[in-house]
Copies of this chain bind each other. A is one copy, B any other.
Amino acid sequence: MKLGDLGEDRLLEQLLARPLSGKAIVMGSGDDCAVVEAQDCGELLVLKTDCVVEGVHFLRGTNAFDVGWKAMMRPLSDFAATSAVPQFALITLMAPKQTEVTWVKKLYLGLRRAAERFEISIVGGETSSTPGSIAISTSVVGFVERERWVSRRGGKAGDDLFVTGRLGGALKQKHLCFIPRIAESRWLTKNFSIHAMMDLSDGLGTDLPRLARASNVAFKIHVEKLPLARGVKINNAISEGEDYELLFAISQRQRKGLQKEWKRKFPKLPLTQIGSLVPQSAIRTLQLRRGYVHFQQPS
């Protein structure tokens, strides 16, 4: 069987299926970040790696600054999902020998500017030549308070589902210059009890079922309520991906307080209740509207 015949989720599941060895792993692979107990540390250690590859995540002609920005911001969006504070980054650059040094310098400027935006130190790097295409791998390390870290797993039937910002249309521009919702996430976990959270990188239609599956619940969405980016159709908003917005589950009782305080704190950023989590037993009775084939209820 070829790698292309397996989805990434299934591949990682298979490869990492065996129980991880004796360290104190609070949350390993399968969530946005790895969260671990580190000896001698008061807070939980949070780790995330990601990569952007020429021909997959960006095209040859793309501005190198934008590529660097994206390479740093993608793993930071996972920190937002975990409500963790990123602190240190390591960069591995694989590039052909004939790559222009000016291109690489612009790339690092993008990486640096993105890191500075969140006061992250780029503490190490490695470069290698490659006979293939340019690839940048970014690993980020940070911390989260025990009482504030969030995973995809804590959603409860009855919870409201919220998304930040607007969905869809990201591939046109935003995916190269987005700002991860770390400030918003940290504010949420400081002021509210967030049951489950993730960032929307593959599209609501792919990501929401992941959150539901991890929480052992199903979901109900008011598709007509989805906050669409300008000129975007509902189907595109569900399936396109690269929104890098937050999706989270919170007790219904907190809805009014959250909506009121959010408006005061982030007046320019929409916060939309798009539906709710429901018991898995409710799936069969749900009237799923046709057309939204990309939503797969957890099986």
- Residues on A lying within 8 angstroms of B by beta carbon are 1-6, 8, 11-12, 14-16, 18, 20-23, 25, 28-29, 33-34, 36, 38-43, 45, 47-57, 87-88, 90-92, 94-102, 104-105, 108, 112, 115-116, 119-133, 135, 137, 139, 141, 143
CB distance from A54 to the nearest CB of B (A): 8
Contact B39 A40 (CB under 8 A): no
Contact A38 B133 (CB under 8 A): no
Given A38-B41, A104-B15, verify A56-B128 contact (CB < 8 Å): yes
CA of A20 to CA of B23, assembled, Å: 31
Residue of B with least CB distance to A102:
B1
Contact A91 B132 (CB under 8 A): no
Copies of this chain present in the complex amount to 2
CA of A102 to CA of B1, assembled, Å: 8
CA of A36 to CA of B4, assembled, Å: 39
Given A40-B41, A90-B49, verify A125-B29 contact (CB < 8 Å): yes
Contact B101 A143 (CB under 8 A): no
Q: Which of B3, B21, B42 meets A116, CB within 8 Å?
A: B21
CB distance from A48 to the nearest CB of B (A): 7
Contact B23 A128 (CB under 8 A): no
CA of A112 to CA of B14, assembled, Å: 13
Contact A55 B92 (CB under 8 A): no
Point out the residues of chain B lying under 8 angstroms from A132, CB to CB: 53-55, 130-133, 135
Return the 8 tightest CB-CB contacts between A and B, nearest first: A132-B132, A4-B97, A34-B123, A139-B139, A40-B42, A137-B137, A49-B90, A132-B133
CA of A150 to CA of B210, assembled, Å: 44
Contact A88 B36 (CB under 8 A): yes
Point out the residues of chain B lying under 8 angstroms from A97, CB to CB: 2-4
Point out the residues of chain B lying under 8 angstroms from A15, CB to CB: 104-105, 108, 125
CB distance from A219 to the nearest CB of B (A): 26
CA of A3 to CA of B45, assembled, Å: 35
Contact B129 A130 (CB under 8 A): no
Q: Which of B11, B95, B125 meets A16, CB within 8 Å?
A: B125
